Structure 1
Amino acid sequence: MEFARSSGVLLHVASLPSRGPIGDLGPAAYEFVEFLAAAKQHVWQVLPLCPTGYGNSPYAGTSAFAGNPNLISLEVLGDWEWMGRDQLSEIRDQKSAVDYGAVESEKLPLLREAAGSFLDRGASDPKLAEQWQGFAAFCAAEAHWLNDYAMYAVLRNVHGTGAWTHWPEPVRRREPEALKALVAERGRELAVEQAMQFAFAMQWNALREAAAKHRIRLLGDIAIFVSMDSADVWTHPGIFELDEELRPVHVAGVPPDYFSATGQRWGNPLYRWDVLAELGYGWWVDRVRRSCQLYDIVRLDHFRGFEGYWSIPGAEETAVNGEWVKGPGMALFSALEVALGKLPLVAEDLGLITPAVDALRLEAGMPGMKVMQFGFGGKGAHPHLPHRYTPGTVAYTGTHDNDTTQGWWNRANDQERAAVEAYVGPVADRPVWPLIRAMEASVAEIAIAPAQDLLELGDEARMNTPAVAGGNWGWRAAEGAWTPEIAARLAALAEVMDRENDPLAKGEATPA
């Protein structure tokens, strides 16, 4: 799919300067929408919105379909009268970083209490009548994933957030009698989980509608693989490479390279693509349909895995002894298009990309990605520089997996710094905005800068360091960070670079 010439900002919801221990879908999110509108930006890219498991990574979620309850705004729940003002007083002021411990100990109990209040009063309180009807409709429409997710979430709490692979055998294997007993014994807790998913959906949909009024489109991710400890693998073990004991036969990762002599062993179970093909790729159709309910544009993370993926025997401790295995290729994307129509997809085609991967992306009609930080390492890296971009490109100064641009510059070697200044002129140790300007001047369809780059922050604001287990996903913007001066600077670039367009208005793009 082609997109109109536009630009935007990458900022995860958890990084908003909301009140409390984590960014959320409340007032700070709407303030950011207003900032984007003033800045004439028409894309807001977020990281996956799924519930997170161990390590808090949105790329290691516990469900490919559910929303992250941690992102629900308690203030909005107060406006809905799901909770009282005295409870809202328990929300602490915003902290400088996401405090995941406080999310678990302070916020989640309040969320569950608010959901329980809604369940108790929804059927009888006239103020909640419309929401109560909406809740019933939501549970019916999303039953194909919601019921199993609720059971998984409740069992996870019952077993101290332990992985489903260690649950008692009857529930581990989803024996019907065991699940029936769970519903009978834990009905209230199951309903609370469903109510929190309903609250997330209402709040996200309201934010998306507010953004759409400014022709701001939400761009979100689909991580190609899912976590072993997830509702998806527990519910659908037959579509994953598991043995009779429900242990992974092979797992995902990437082979050894310049950055790692042992490669990366991600540990995600691999798909049985032959089984999925026999089933008409139904699970993937449902997954992409769900993503299109959440986002206007969808980025497929690790796109190269759809052409070929690195398969590592489950017993191996590193990624060294793996092999490349053919992925589903166009058969999957053809099935998606037949079921869902033309889709607004972007391919994350970074890493070891072969001509076959490029050919698949082009046949599927998806733009690829370029990251400017990669472009200054020598001649072979120049395709990541703006003068080499093609129209079918979504360009970034950096991504959530990179250091911030200022942080990268601070650590860059003399050759890289000289290359930057040869490209954009002297930067006086402040390269960020000259590089944003060069990116936006390119022919890339969409140009995106991480929020940290707009603020010219260093490596203290880095979102994630791949292959490093701790210290990630915690950065938050300071309150008042989105100043009129930054908005005016971005708006001026959007105007002169002809990027003040709705990306979904290809063929009828007009200035904002």
Structure 2
Amino acid sequence: MHPLYRQRRGGVLLHPTSLPGPLPRGQICHDAYRFIEWLQQCGIGVWQMLPLGPTHQDSSPYLALSAHAGDPKLISLDWLRDRHMLSNCPEVMDFQTHQQQLERAWKQFSKKKDRRLLQTWQQFKRDESDWLDDYSLFMALREQQGGDAWHHWPAALRDRDAATLKQTRDNLAERIEFHQFCQFIFFQQWQDLKAYAADNKVLLFGDMPIYVSYDSADVWAQRELFTLDSQGHPQQVAGVPPDYFSETGQRWGNPLYRWDIMEQDHFQWWQRRLQTQLQLFDIVRIDHFRGLQAYWSIPAKEETAIKGHWINAPGAKLLAALHTAFPNLPLVAEDLGMITEEVHVLRETFDLPGMKILQFAFDGDPNNSYLPHQHEFHSLVYTGTHDNDTSLGWYQQLPTETQNYIRDYLGLKTDREMPWPLIRCALASVSCLAVIPMQDLLALGSEYRMNTPGTIEGNWQWRFDWPQVPDELIQKLRHLLHLYGRL
């Protein structure tokens, strides 16, 4: 068991885009530091968030343009101003202006030639070149091609013709360097934030999607690792069969891995990917962990996930290689959905904690594994996740019979205090880490939900503002964390 899981802790789930701030989405700005201070005052030791990669138009953090890069939209211009890397910056209210100011910062950085920063910049480019070179070229090309996905590019670019790419690197050198600069600044800002969190005894908990986006630098640069044909079109795609969230399943559309090829070099692609995550986070969750034991393969021509089938994956070999490369890994398995005994065995073999979701607990079966009296220490308990409704919204939409069962289980006479009895239930659980979504701490309803799986509209937009956070919440949380040994 990793040392991080040997004591009881409390955590909060909040993606940085949900932080307050002047732009349409939150950033690594002063409010991120203020949030860490607020967590420390509450006695909360873990800040969990979603993936940090650059997103497509739908803003989904689970379909990023890179498995390594950080989202430039998260970059704080205040951080650049505070370090004299951006002067005469106007008030920025939209991402078009934000992009323009990043380009100004790049030009000022190039002209100033600060020796210390230049050395750090050159070192960053050397250390991260194995992904940064392809990513920055990919992004420059994407701009040149009007934002089109790589599989719609001219064949020579799509298929990475060596002579064409060499010429392209020369022609787009300035834009390539700009995208490298954005990554340099992102990682510098994030390391500062991570250090501040450590000073305040707050661990950063990240999320690594099991799959990468079809339209990503990773797939474009290493097509041989994915189930694509000679034209770059997917043959099979990822998803999950019909389940709690959707009657037709979920067709995610990610290309599947060619596990046989990945295994030949002991999963170097995965090792490098995890190395990046460990630079960013103290704890890493493997999203859709069950896909490491068996994955749902959907013919690419199918519009839904119904006609997929299960194929075994070499998860044991992969995890063994990762543990060899990174001893005592701080991993968490997202073991939700259609979980078989084989998935439990895989997780337990590598001593990874799984997840217990209270919103899944109250089906009337006293043997339901999500009920608190069924929990074990080596697990994480949540009231709900980013894919669930808020706990208040969930409760309000339940049938009366289920609400009565929940009140009976929690010992309630009325439901006016919800969702706090559910939060208290999570904190009282024997699970080593209890994570509460920020929406639940603010007792918000369904209109503040972060994501509805299987839909593409209206997701990833929720944000809080500081006036929503009552002053008494610090003492309330601190008391409960102390009461249940999680302070």
Aligned residues of 2:12 and 2:438 also touching (Cα < 8 A)? yes
1:161-216 CA-partner distances (Å, limit 9, x unpaired):
11000011111111111111121111111111011101100111001100101221
Number of corresponding residues: 483
1:430 maps to what in 2? 417
Cα distance in 1, alignment partners of residues 379 and 401 from structure 2: 27
Query: In the alignment, which residue of structure 1 is the partner of 2:324?
Result: 338
Q: Give the corresponding residue for 1:11.
A: 14
Contact 1:16 1:28 in 2 (8 A): yes
Contact in 2 for aligned 1:119/1:192 (Cα 8 Å):
no
Following superposition, the deviation at residue 133 of structure 1 comes to 1.4
Indicate the residue corresponding to 1:447 in structure 2.
434
What is the DSSP-based 3-state SS (H/G/I as helix, E as strand, rest coil) of the residue aligned with 1:48? coil
The reply on whether 1:419 has 2:410 as its aligned counterpart is no
Find out whether 1:488 has 2:460 as its counterpart: no
1:40 to 40, 43, 47: 43
Q: Does 1:22 align with 2:25?
A: yes
The residue correspondences of 1:293-312 to structure 2 (distance < 5 A) are: 293-312=279-298
**Alpha carbons 1:222, 1:291 under 8 Å: kept:** yes
Deviation at 1:418, TM superposition (A): 0.8
Name the residue aligned to 1:77. Answer: 80
The residue matched to 1:44 in structure 2 has which SS?
A: strand
Whether contact under 8 Å (1:208, 1:218) holds in the other structure is yes
Of stretches 206-215 and 422-431 in structure 1, the one that deviates more from structure 2 is: 422-431
Q: Tell me by how many angstroms 1:385 deviates.
A: 1.7
Quick one: which of 251, 274, 297 aligns to 1:265?
Answer: 251
> Which residue, out of 459, 462, 465, partners 2:452?
465
1:149 to 2:150 alignment: no
1:207–1:381 Cα change, 3 Å: farther
Provide the C-alpha distance between the structure 2 equivalents of 1:282 and 1:380, rounded to a whole number of angstroms.
Answer: 44
Distance of aligned partners of 1:463 and 1:157 in 2 relative to their CA distance in 1, 3 Å threshold: same
Deviations 1:37-93 (A, max 9, x none): 0000000001100000131100011100000100000111111222223x2x3313x
Q: 1:5 to 1:27 in 2, by over 3 A?
A: same
- Aligned-residue CA RMSD (Å): 1.4
Distance, in Å, in 2 between the alignment partners of 1:247 and 1:188 is 31
Moved more, 310-319 or 378-387: 378-387
After TM superposition, list the pairs within 5 Å mapping 1:152-301 onto structure 2: 152-257=138-243, 259-301=245-287
Counterpart CA distance in 1 for 2:283 and 2:199 is 16
Counterpart pick for 1:64 among 40, 44, 67: 67
Indicate conservation of the 8 Å contact 1:309/1:324, yes or no.
yes
Partner of 1:327 in structure 2? 313
Residue identity over aligned pairs, in percent, reads 43
Q: In the alignment, which residue of structure 2 is the partner of 1:386?
A: 372
Structure 1: runs of 5+ lacking an equivalent: 93-101, 501-512
Say which is worse superposed, 322-331 or 257-266, in terms of deviation.
257-266
For residues 407-450 of structure 1, what are the alpha-carbon distances to aligned partners after superposition, in whole Å with 9 as ceiling and x for unaligned? 11221111221122112213433311111111111110100000
2-structure distance, mates of 1:208, 1:14: 16
Contact 1:369 1:395 in 2 (8 A): yes
How far residue 160 of structure 1 moved from its aligned partner, in angstroms, is 1.6
CA shift for structure 1 position 380: 7.3
377-386 vs 26-35, greater mean Cα deviation: 377-386
Superposed displacement of residue 274, structure 1: 0.5
The CA distance in 1 between the partners of 2:238 and 2:415, in whole Å, is: 43
Equivalent in the alignment of 2:107: 116
Structure 2: which 5+ residue stretches go unaligned?
none
C-alpha displacement of 1:381: 7.5
TM-fit CA distance, 1:106: 2.6
Structure 1 residue ranges, 4+ long, deviating more than 6 angstroms after superposition: none
Range 133-142 or range 253-262, more displaced: 253-262
- Following superposition, the deviation at residue 479 of structure 1 comes to 3.0
Change over 3 Å in CA distance of 1:250–1:31 after alignment to 2: same
* CA deviation profile, 1:6-26 (whole Å, cap 9, x unmatched): 011000000000232221111
For 1:62, the aligned partner's letter is L
Alignment partners' CA distance in 2, 1:293 and 1:149? 18
Offset at residue 231 of structure 1 (A)? 0.5
Per the alignment, in what secondary structure is the counterpart of residue 484 of structure 1?
coil
User: 1:130-184 deviations in whole A, cap 9, x for unaligned?
Assistant: 2221111111100010111001111111112110000111111111111111211
Map 1:367-406 → 2, pairs under 5 A: 367-379=353-365, 382-406=368-392
- Structure-2 separation of matches of 1:22 and 1:453: 20
Contact 2:246 2:454 survives alignment (8 Å): no
Greater alpha carbon shift after TM alignment, 231-240 vs 74-83: 74-83
Q: CA deviation at 1:406?
A: 1.0
Is 2:486 aligned against 1:499?
yes
The DSSP-based 3-state class of the residue aligned with 2:38 is helix
Amino acid of the structure 2 residue aligned with 1:432: P
Give the distance between the partners of 1:23 and 1:235, measured in 2 at CA: 30
User: Helix, strand or coil: the match of 1:298?
Assistant: strand
- Aligned residue for 1:382, secondary structure, equals coil
Please name the residue that 1:90 is paired with: 91
**Change beyond 3 A, Cα 1:427–1:160:** farther
Using CA pairs under 8 Å that are at least 6 residues apart, name the structure with larger relative contact order, 1 or 2: 1
- The worse-fitting range, judged by mean Cα deviation, of 110-119 and 400-409 is 110-119
**One-letter amino acid matched to 2:103:** R
Q: Residues 232-278 of structure 1: CA distance to partner in whole angstroms, max 9, x if unpaired?
A: 00011011011111111111011134553422111100000000001
Deviation of 1:473 (Å): 0.4
Aligned residues of 2:17 and 2:25 also touching (Cα < 8 A): yes
Amino acid at match of 2:273: R
Q: Which residue of 1 aligns with 2:463?
A: 476
Following the alignment from structure 1 to structure 2, what is the Cα–Cα distance between the partners of residues 204 and 482? 25
Distance (whole Å) between structure 1 residues aligned to residue 259 and residue 101 of structure 2: 41
- Amino acid corresponding to residue 77 of structure 2 in structure 1: L
